[in-house]
């Protein structure tokens, strides 16, 4: 069953959605001999991926995968993948985030794998599987989703008289004021410039940035739900109740380590990043549900998640999808990815993986995935990404940085993001309604 968020019946993308022929542009594919294993290459960047590839190769004699680690997508990986497609030497399989998949489809960089992937659809969270496709075409297999939570210093919350993590955003704001009043050098959290983290906050609030009607795109990045989010954070920034610091910057982890930044509203994959960045504070952290707007109707956000997709020109689509499915669902691979990548599995079988129930020493022995399991159940499945997310995310990150510095407002940042997104879509010939 496909959700509305993945149905994306886009007349403007139909021509490119079925992109790619059966000829391989992957040199390893060309070298595969009929008497030996099929050889395919895979490009990605997440920690732990190379071990899952090694596990696959050790258990499969008919397919062998060579893995190349590239820069994270937003830091050059996506550009490298797109350039490789243009040059005719792309890998057979690539790691592409849900948010960027429509961009790759619009660029004609993906290979249709609808029939090969269809038998596996029932084995994945429906909305996650749906986001591996566009315009009725499926391009790969989802590895993970990224439900959000509140990662916080339990000991310091207690120090400032906060018995439990804030359940609502109103409580978060009140706690922010309480903490900063008690210690002007302490902040409940921070405001960063990560576009996709902000998107997760907007997603939680009910934002619908992109949609389609009659085959035309609709773009509404500055919708009322998003403006509710900007108003909330603008108030905290203006009152200096959150620390303004670039996302994933050394200054952020310095603050987390020295006790001046007490929490991080972020996705499940952020937990191992925090653990490795502030090792000296092990045992003092906990994970709680992210604050909600309405306690009677809780909703959560999602900030990330990636499928492994078949790139244009792959000559072994069946084997590529077989590998992608094994990578995302085999118990040994999923265990590895949970432990080393911090994923929340998209595969339904992964939800019973013992690694999800393991107490986490960094978080005081808490079974943190229980929180993210509940969070995942409250994510709106109909949120939809747009076709030029590289431009959208770049404009938004720039605007968030400027708003944090006080040179513009958050509302101005999302208005500019809307404007740049629409302009980019028009320049690419995409129809807007």
pLDDT reported for residue 119? 98
Where along the chain do its domains lie? 4-146+304-352, 148-302+383-427
- Neighbour count for residue 59 (Cβ, 10 Å): 11
pLDDT reported for residue 14? 36
pLDDT reported for residue 17? 39
Give the list of residues 6+ apart from residue 386 with CB closer than 8 angstroms, or none: 102, 103, 209, 210, 217, 219, 392, 421, 425
Q: Does the domain formed by 148-302+383-427 have CATH 2.60.40.1180?
A: no
What six digits make up the tokens of 415? 């208005």
CA nearest neighbour of 147 among 163, 128, 134, 165: 128
Place of tokens 């320049």: 427
What six digits make up the tokens of 325? 């499915």
Q: Please state whether beta strands 307-310 and 93-95 pair in parallel, antiparallel, or not at all (unpaired).
A: antiparallel
pLDDT reported for residue 33? 44
Give the list of residues 6+ apart from residue 373 with CB closer than 8 angstroms, or none: 147, 344, 351, 356
Give the list of residues 6+ apart from residue 181 with CB closer than 8 angstroms, or none: none
The kind and range of the H/E element at 233 are helix 224-238
Give the list of residues 6+ apart from residue 83 with CB closer than 8 angstroms, or none: none
Report the distance separating Cα 104 and Cα 120, nearest Å: 22
- Residue-wise DSSP of 147-196: BEEEEEEHHHHHHTT--S--SBHHHHHHHHHHHHHH-TT-BS-EE---HH
Beta bridge partners of 211: 218
Place of tokens 């670039």: 246
pLDDT reported for residue 189? 98
Q: Do the domains spanning 4-146+304-352 and 148-302+383-427 agree at the CATH topology level?
A: yes
Report the distance separating Cα 394 and Cα 396, nearest Å: 5
Low-confidence ranges of the chain (pLDDT < 50): 1-25, 27-33
Could you please state the CATH topology (level 3) that the domain comprising 4-146+304-352 is classified under. Answer: D-Maltodextrin-Binding Protein; domain 2 (3.40.190)
Report the distance separating Cα 76 and Cα 109, nearest Å: 16
Largest CA distance in the chain: 72
pLDDT reported for residue 34? 57
Beta bridge partners of 187: 261
Residue 118 is given by DSSP the state: G
């Amino acid at each position: 069953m496909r959700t509305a968020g993945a149905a994306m019946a886009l007349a403007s993308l139909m021509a490119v959605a079925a992109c790619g022929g059966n000829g391989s542009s992957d040199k390893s594919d060309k070298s595969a001999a009929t008497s030996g294993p099929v050889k395919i290459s895979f490009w990605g960047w997440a920690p732990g991926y190379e071990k899952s590839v090694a596990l696959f190769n050790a258990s499969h004699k008919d397919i062998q995968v060579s893995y190349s680690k590239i820069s994270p997508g937003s830091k050059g990986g996506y550009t490298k993948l797109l350039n490789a497609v243009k040059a005719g030497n792309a890998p057979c399989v690539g790691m592409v985030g849900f948010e960027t998949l429509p961009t790759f489809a619009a660029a004609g960089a993906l290979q249709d794998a609808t029939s090969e992937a269809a038998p596996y659809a029932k084995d994945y969270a429906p909305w996650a599987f749906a986001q591996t496709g566009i315009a009725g075409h499926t391009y790969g297999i989802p590895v993970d989703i990224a439900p959000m939570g509140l990662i916080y210093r339990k000991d310091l919350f207690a120090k400032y008289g906060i018995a439990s993590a804030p359940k609502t955003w109103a409580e978060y704001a009140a706690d922010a004021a309480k903490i900063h009043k008690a210690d002007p050098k302490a902040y409940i959290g921070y405001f960063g410039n990560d576009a996709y983290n902000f998107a997760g906050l907007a997603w939680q609030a009910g934002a619908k940035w992109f949609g389609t009607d009659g085959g035309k795109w609709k773009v509404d990045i500055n919708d009322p739900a998003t403006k509710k989010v900007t108003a909330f954070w603008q108030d905290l920034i203006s009152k200096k109740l959150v620390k303004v610091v670039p996302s994933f910057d050394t200054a952020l982890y310095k603050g987390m380590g020295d006790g001046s930044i007490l929490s991080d509203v972020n996705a499940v994959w952020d937990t191992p990043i925090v653990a490795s960045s502030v090792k000296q504070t092990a045992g003092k952290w906990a994970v709680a549900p992210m604050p909600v707007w309405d306690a009677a109707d809780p909703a959560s956000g999602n900030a990330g998640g990636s499928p492994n997709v078949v790139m244009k020109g792959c000559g072994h689509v069946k084997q590529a999808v077989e590998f992608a499915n094994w990578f995302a669902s085999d118990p040994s691979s999923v265990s590895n990815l949970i432990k080393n990548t911090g994923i929340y599995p998209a595969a339904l079988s992964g939800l019973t993986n013992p690694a999800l129930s393991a107490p986490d020493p960094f978080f005081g022995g808490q079974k943190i995935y229980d929180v993210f399991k509940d969070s995942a159940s409250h994510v709106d499945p109909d949120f939809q990404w747009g076709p030029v997310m590289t431009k959208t995310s770049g404009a938004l990150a720039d605007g968030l940085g400027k708003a944090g510095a006080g040179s513009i407002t958050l509302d101005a940042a999302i208005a500019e993001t809307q404007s740049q997104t629409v302009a980019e879509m028009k320049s690419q010939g995409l129809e807007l309604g």
